[in-house]
Every structure is written in C-alpha cells, then in structure tokens.
Amino acid sequence: MSRIVKWVRAHLVVLAGVLALAYLVLPNLVVLAFSFNKPNGKFNYEWNEFSTDAWTDPCGVADMCGSLSLSLQIAVLATIGATVLGTMVAFALARYRFRGRGGATGLIFLPMAMPEVVMAASLGTLFLNMRIPFGFTTILIAHVMFCLSFVVTAVKARVMSMDPRLEQAAQDLYATPVQTFLKVTLPLAAPGIAAGALLSFALSFDDFIITQFNSGPTTVTFPMFVWGASQRGIPVQVNVIGTAMFLAAVVLTVVGQWVGNRRKAQA
C-alpha cells in the first residue's frame, strides 16, 4: 500500500503534466483523425471510413487554397509591419522620457483590452468614412494595428530587463552608436522581438472578427472561408490544413528547442 502511495508521490508532477498535455492536444488529435475520414454526407462529424483522399488532394475544394494563400500573405506582411513598428515603439517607450509617454503606453495596451468586435466595427466605420475601399489593404492595416500591441509588450519587457551598462561597455570598446545597436542591443532584444513576431503571425493568421468587418467582397481569408463552409458542411480538406499547421508548429518548436540545447551544450 505504502509503495503505491510512494509511487504516486514520486510521479505526481509527471501525471499532472501528462493530463494537462492531453487536455491541450486532444482536440488537435481529433482534427488529425477526422482528416482521414470519408464522411457519409456533407458533415464530417461522424467516423465513416478511412481514406487519404483529402491528403492527396488538399486543394480539391473550390477557393480554399486561394483563401489560405491570402491569409498567409497577410500574416507575413502584418508580422513584418507590426514587428518593425512595434520594436521601435518599444524602444522609445522603454528608453526615453517624453511628453505623452504615459498616454502612449496606455493606448498601446488598449487593443488588447478592448472587445474585438467593438474595435472591428469602429475600424470599419473609419475606413468607410475615409472612403478607403475594403480589401487587402484594409485587412492588412487592421492586422498590423492589433498585432502592434503584442509586439510592443513583448519587446518592451525584454528591453527593460536589459542592462544599460552592456551598451556603455560596447561604446567604451570603440563601437559607434550604429555598431552598438547592431552588435549588442539587437541581439540582446532578439528573443523579445522573435516572441512578438511569432505571436503576430499566429494572431493575424486566425483572426476572424476584425477581418470580417474590414474585408472586401473578393478578399476571403482562410478563417472566413472555414466560417462560410461550416454553414454548408466543412470539407475534410480543412482538417488537413489544420493538421498541417499544427504539425508545422510542433516541428518548429522542437527544432528551436534542439538548436537552443545544442548551442548551450557547445558553449
């Protein structure tokens, strides 16, 4: 009896970890399983028959791959825009005292705190009044805006924790301001910038509400396509794309960890 208690005590943390992991991953595994289903009828909710049809012909559904490509384009551009702009804003807020600094900090935080639907509707109204035609540009502007807050928050936290003496040391060792920025400041801030960029990409790729309010008739992003399809029955190919994204993220994380560990072991 006591041996069982001992075993449980020794493995409780592992057990909790496995349970939490299962909670997180199980939905993804269901998506994976149903990507191999051959549904009986329009709805892919009940297991019918194993098939690799969807995997061999992922673009077999009309307009789906077009919407996927649009989503990826917007996500990449929004990530670049938000990361560059957000990094500069973060440095300004973390390093300099200026008029309106407090106000700017609060405003940057606002998009994260505000209900998305409110922001979506007001942005839509703004574009309408400014007579900017809805489409690729308006989606991109909206995405850069809400990604910005996350980049600023991530980079600012990193910059604040950086020892200012490191930059002084660089200057003391003959580095010009530009060299100091490139050789010391930027590499040190890189983890924060990377975190902000990854977050931006994920947020932009799966945003629905804001996109819905600011897109044009021909610009249907992947989440919008899935929403539209769900009214009529979601094609199995959506599960294929979902699974592919999930696996890509897992591979990226594992490779990242592995490279990090190798670097540590080398050093």
Q: Which residues bind other proteins (CB under 8 A)?
A: 163, 165-166, 168-176, 179, 183-184, 187-188, 266-267
| Closest CB to other proteins among residues 173, 250 | 173
| Closest CB to other proteins among residues 124, 192 | 192
Per-position b or e across 158-168, b if 16+ CB within 10 A of its CB: bbeebeeeebe
Task: Give min distance, CB of 262 to other proteins, in A.
Answer: 13
Task: Give min distance, CB of 23 to other proteins, in A.
Answer: 35
- Nearest Cα to Cα of residue 139 among 85, 208, 88: 208
| Closest CB to other proteins among residues 2, 266 | 266
For the chain, helix, strand, coil in percent to 5 are: 80, 0, 20
| Closest CB to other proteins among residues 76, 188 | 188
Kindly state the tokens that stand for 236. 């199995």
Kindly state the tokens that stand for 66. 């077009």
**One-letter amino acid of 176:** T
Q: What is the DSSP string of 149-217?
A: HHHHHHHHHHHHTS-HHHHHHHHHTT--HHHHIIIIIHHHHHHHHHHHHHHHHHHHHT--HHHHHH--S
**One-letter amino acid of 226:** V
Task: Give min distance, CB of 103 to other proteins, in A.
Answer: 24
Task: Give min distance, CB of 168 to other proteins, in A.
Answer: 5
DSSP element (H, E) containing 81: helix 64-95
Task: Give min distance, CB of 111 to other proteins, in A.
Answer: 31
| Closest CB to other proteins among residues 3, 264 | 264
